[in-house]
Structure 1
């Protein structure tokens, strides 16, 4: 059940049985109840003066005067205190009475009255009550000692609940702070994990093209090779080189050269599928890993790549591409795969110098295709 809809006694699990047990602990008996009720007939007339003297003494304490703050608050406190003192002698000390004591503790804690200040005030109130009892009990036919003892027991009984509320409020504050710390720690952990992921990602990326770098390329290649080797599948590699790139850098400058490399990377990124991996292998060389792809199907991908690059390139420049596969027929050797694809790329580059067009050469098993 939502605590907002519970009474303080329900929140703190205080029951009628618990109240009666506490009376036993305080030796607060039915005889004490009768004595207090009997005193109500004459002590009530003294209550306004008791409360007046009480607040004269309390406002003389700088810490209390600072908490009270203004005359209207002081007047309200006078009224509340008079009600409280009257209730001490009404003879009804049940769950309703306890709920009011809990409320007193809640209010005092909320406005910043520390336990030591509260106890100081209660002690002062008790002394004022005892002065009135000493001066008036006998003439009203009562035993002053018995009445003072009954008042003392009841006020100790009350203080239990007031301090239970203090403790409960502090526990709630601690729990709230703990929850905040846990939430902060959780958010911090998520932030650290995200930053770690981002840093890891950055450490694997080439800053110019935003493709994977050579180290990350080998990690993906080894992982992919292990997977396809277990199932006996195919895993293809495309090795890409920009034709006459050094001459472009020398003549047009490195800025134009960078624009070409970026265009290549964008063309690659726009044509690869989610499960495929692209990397800048070094300089003007790029590699693409294509899992579950046979060598004879690489030409379909390259057609899309060439078309995309032609739409993005800043100059009339072409690409040479070599392709090879790992498969049961070709074997599963990483270094050999790269060497074979690199060899096909150089064969493609030779023809590109002659034709001035994009070129692809793919090794299928032991055969070469143009």
Structure 2
């Protein structure tokens, strides 16, 4: 260190560390959790549900016809739409929920302690909030509107599942929402949320390990 150089303050160093943590865990465009951090949060939630038995809902969302926005209005306008949708989702869910951008126009939400009786209501509220957006993109263009398709699935309670199985279940419902015309929310029914063969296998494997 040079003689006249002042040592870095503790607050300054902490600020640098906090900024680095944000860069590694947040999506640069929206400020939401990024895919890596989302996958870590999803794994923790799978473990928590297995231990606590509390219900948890995973929602996956796509902006409908997003390619047309980029092709017609440009990528800058597309970025504005993504930011607006991200902000709208974040304002609609609870602080305890994890909202992530997991792809170009793809989002996901982990909703812990979300009863099956309110899952559809939550998803529909998010869908309506986005539908009401009027996104200003500048350059004298009129505000853009957009819609989203939503798929959702509940993690089986008291069962050791996996993030892959849970995500695949939610993805199947997202594909159904798109196939049925988009701008809708499709959630796995309670009957369909019963323990799958894969999850029974996981449960059996854990039981065997515990008995050895």
> What TM-score, normalized by structure 2, do the two folds share?
0.77
Match of 1:367 in 2: 192
Tell me: higher relative CO, structure 1 or 2? Use CA pairs within 8 A at least 6 residues apart.
2
Match of 2:91 in 1: 270
Deviation of the 1:346 alpha carbon: 0.9
Partners of 1:273 and 1:335 lie apart in 2 by 24
Deviation of the 1:189 alpha carbon: 2.5
Partners of 2:116 and 2:67 lie apart in 1 by 29
Structure 1 unaligned regions, length at least 5:
1-183
Partners of 2:171 and 2:99 lie apart in 1 by 16
Match of 1:339 in 2: 168
Partners of 2:179 and 2:167 lie apart in 1 by 19
Check conservation: 1:241, 1:286, Cα contact below 8 A: yes
Give 1:281's match in structure 2, choosing from 87, 99, 102.
Answer: 102
Deviation of the 1:335 alpha carbon: 0.5
Partners of 2:117 and 2:187 lie apart in 1 by 8
Distance of aligned partners of 1:240 and 1:324 in 2 relative to their CA distance in 1, 3 Å threshold: same
SS at match of 1:317: coil
Partners of 2:47 and 2:15 lie apart in 1 by 28
Give 1:302's match in structure 2, choosing from 109, 119, 123.
Answer: 123
> What TM-score, normalized by structure 1, do the two folds share?
0.45
- Deviation track 1:255-275 (CA, whole Å, cap 9, x = no partner) reads 221121111101111011111
The answer to whether 1:237 aligns with 2:58 is yes
Give 1:324's match in structure 2, choosing from 153, 159, 168.
Answer: 153
Q: Which has the higher helix share?
A: 1
Deviation of the 1:188 alpha carbon: 2.1
User: Considering only aligned residues, what root-mean-square deviation do their CA atoms show, in Å?
Assistant: 2.2
Which of 1 and 2 has greater Rg? 1
Check conservation: 2:59, 2:152, Cα contact below 8 A: yes
The answer to whether 1:290 aligns with 2:111 is yes
Structure 2 unaligned regions, length at least 5:
1-5, 136-143, 194-212
SS at match of 2:96: coil
